[in-house]
Structure 1
């Protein structure tokens, strides 16, 4: 029996590393051809495309620019003739204590907002005609618990992810019934970015600290986020749109969550 997703096409922004790469691997295993977008991680994106097969291609595009978003969508349709899924995964932050009101300026907010909120909107707009033509058009935005609870790496980051959560609901309403739009909201995710920053020992200590502070007792990894993204894209989830799934090992159940450091990227 063939997989209903076999032959579908997905664009994954920031798809060469971390959560994006985990999504690509999962979708490729389902027979989906992936357009792996990257801004700077060319080697990783091209290696991943070769690894997963299914005709996957790596496409450079700085999606902060609307023209780049339209070019990325065009690259997908020219290569495969369709777009069925869009995963808005690319994002950025600046680390700044929330109580330090002088740690951020207007440009910090705008810089983060451009990639975390405006770029996903531009990508949806660029892909909308092809997604509408698909029998299973779906978008998943990668938000954050920071945007739900007003916490995380900085006020600017939390504000941008909060905007993405709200935009998910707005777009789910106006793009129905042809396109479903959902979001995932991870907490801390144990990606290679942290390992490079902290070293192997520091990374292990951080993961252990997070694991000890959440009900599920483990640090969420990229595949723990990619699995729910795959589920939201799957046509079996056709009744779900405008939803935001919290993926933090149950950390949001703790009323003191916002007082603990190291909870998200």
Structure 2
């Protein structure tokens, strides 16, 4: 299947590792020019850029910082003159891993407010910047990476899940606004527990229990999640919009 991505410009935030890196690889494999963003892991994203070659541009990006988002969009437009796809993948978890011993009311105010602000304002802010470019060209795809925690829940993930749930509401209404101005689609992808190069060893103690709940009896890996993101962000997707799609192996 021709996904219609050759020559298109795709921004992938948080492309230095995990699912983001596989998303960037997926778009590059389809012939797209890919803008790779990072916050701290510059070496990792530079390695990915070398793998992709001249069709990759590396740009630093701070989720939730309006000046950083403006600079990112300006860099993409200066590079190719267009933005066809935005994949909002970067995230901020507040600096600590969820713990069953943690009560949500004990999280410091500065930490939970930052988690909410960055993960929802950051996604909306960047979407607002690329929307006029897409409306002018009458083509565009937004794919927002959410989390299965929105529906499954987990102790310690209250504020992160709240931000992602808000993203679902934004996406649904934004799809109506964007769709009236051309072939512009917006969707949310909800990964579940996903194996990546970084977390593989950490997930081993719990992977069997999670896999037992899945119809396919295993965890998905990052590339499998990326496949869904690449399709939703492609010209081959002509009618899926305003949706929150679980990519979890059926859990």
Taking a change above 3 Å as real, the CA distance of residues 133 and 148 of structure 1, as seen in their structure-2 partners, is: farther
Q: Which TM-score applies when normalising by structure 2?
A: 0.90
Deviation, structure 1 residue 180: 1.0
Deviation, structure 1 residue 244: 0.7
SS of residue paired to 1:218? coil
Contact 1:150 1:159 in 2 (8 A): no
Deviation, structure 1 residue 158: 1.2
> Are 2:199 and 1:194 equivalent residues in the alignment?
yes
Taking a change above 3 Å as real, the CA distance of residues 110 and 2 of structure 1, as seen in their structure-2 partners, is: same
Deviation, structure 1 residue 229: 0.4
Equivalent residue, structure 2, for 1:90: 90
> Are 2:143 and 1:140 equivalent residues in the alignment?
yes
Counterpart-to-counterpart distance in 2, 1:175 and 1:152? 35
Equivalent residue, structure 2, for 1:102: 105
Please identify, of 9-18 and 168-177, the stretch whose mean Cα deviation from structure 2 is larger.
168-177
Equivalent residue, structure 1, for 2:236: 236
> Are 2:141 and 1:156 equivalent residues in the alignment?
no
Counterpart-to-counterpart distance in 1, 2:3 and 2:177? 29
Taking a change above 3 Å as real, the CA distance of residues 54 and 6 of structure 1, as seen in their structure-2 partners, is: farther
Equivalent residue, structure 2, for 1:26: 26
Counterpart-to-counterpart distance in 2, 1:43 and 1:208? 33
Equivalent residue, structure 2, for 1:120: 123
Deviation, structure 1 residue 104: 2.0
Counterpart-to-counterpart distance in 2, 1:186 and 1:212? 17
Equivalent residue, structure 2, for 1:174: 177
Taking a change above 3 Å as real, the CA distance of residues 246 and 153 of structure 1, as seen in their structure-2 partners, is: farther
Equivalent residue, structure 2, for 1:53: 53
SS of residue paired to 1:245? strand
Counterpart-to-counterpart distance in 1, 2:24 and 2:217? 27
Which residues in structure 2 correspond to 1:55-70 (within 5 Å)? 55-70=55-70
Equivalent residue, structure 1, for 2:190: 185
Deviation, structure 1 residue 212: 2.1
Counterpart-to-counterpart distance in 2, 1:204 and 1:82? 42
SS of residue paired to 2:64? coil
Counterpart-to-counterpart distance in 2, 1:77 and 1:232? 22
Taking a change above 3 Å as real, the CA distance of residues 101 and 64 of structure 1, as seen in their structure-2 partners, is: closer
Taking a change above 3 Å as real, the CA distance of residues 121 and 98 of structure 1, as seen in their structure-2 partners, is: farther
Give the unaligned 5+ runs of structure 1: 252-265
Q: Which has the higher strand share?
A: 2
SS of residue paired to 1:5? coil
Contact 1:28 1:54 in 2 (8 A): no
Flag the structure with more relative contact order, 1 or 2, with Cα contacts below 8 A and sequence separation at least 6. Answer: 2
Give the unaligned 5+ runs of structure 2: none
Taking a change above 3 Å as real, the CA distance of residues 114 and 101 of structure 1, as seen in their structure-2 partners, is: closer
